[in-house]
Amino acid sequence: MVRIAIVDYGMGNLRSVAHALRRVAPEADVRVCASAQELRAADRVVLPGQGAMPDCMRTLAESGLEEAVRESARTKPLLGVCLGEQMLCDHSAEGPSQGLGVIGGECVHFSGDAFASGAVARLKVPHMGWNRVYPVAHEQGERHRLWDGVADGAWFYFVHSYHVVTRQARDVAAQSTYGAPFTCAIARDNIFATQFHPEKSASAGLRLYSNFVSWNP
């Protein structure tokens, strides 16, 4: 039986994530986990997050789970969701705050240089609602395995004011547009993370969760 741990450090949409995973993988052992021992025993780990980056990083450290999350990022399939994606990067302008530094990158506000002109001046921040997502193909023109069965331009649900800018283009797994293009999913080795909420994104989001359950990086 596949054991899937959802990291409970007090800052995530835990119930919705657990419900979505149990729906796509009823045979799996899906648990909301608040101990490092449970994370280390799991086969797969989901790192959710919502709210503000400084609060997420502080509560993760206070929970005693930070090192277990870092270990999971090195050793097993890990899926970051929303703030869970941003936490994997080096630094965020929100706060500002340090991240886990697992994938090189910065989290910047939508009012940054790339969004300083044009339509973005008339757009509301936070970016909230449904947007199309376009997977990025890299090696041999292939999309990441987690996009299997998800159409280019599928709709996903977003709630955020900051977005990730990766240091290396190869870490970008998908893009969306809000005034200007921005990275909305990142991936490297055994790590995949999304800015949007798959658990709130109907059939496309459930398919992504299903792909994560069966993914063998």
Residues annotated as part of the active site: 82, 197, 199
Q: ∠ CA(123), CA(97), CA(57), 5° rounding?
A: 105
* Sign, CA torsion 159/165/168/170: positive
User: How far is residue 117's CA from residue 58's CA, in Å, rounded to a whole number?
Assistant: 34
DSSP 60: H
Name the strand (E) or helix (H) holding 193. Answer: strand 191-194
Q: Which residues contact 141 (CB under 8 A, 6 or more apart)?
A: none
Reduced to 3 DSSP states, what percent helix, strand and coil does the chain have, rounded to the nearest 5?
35, 30, 35
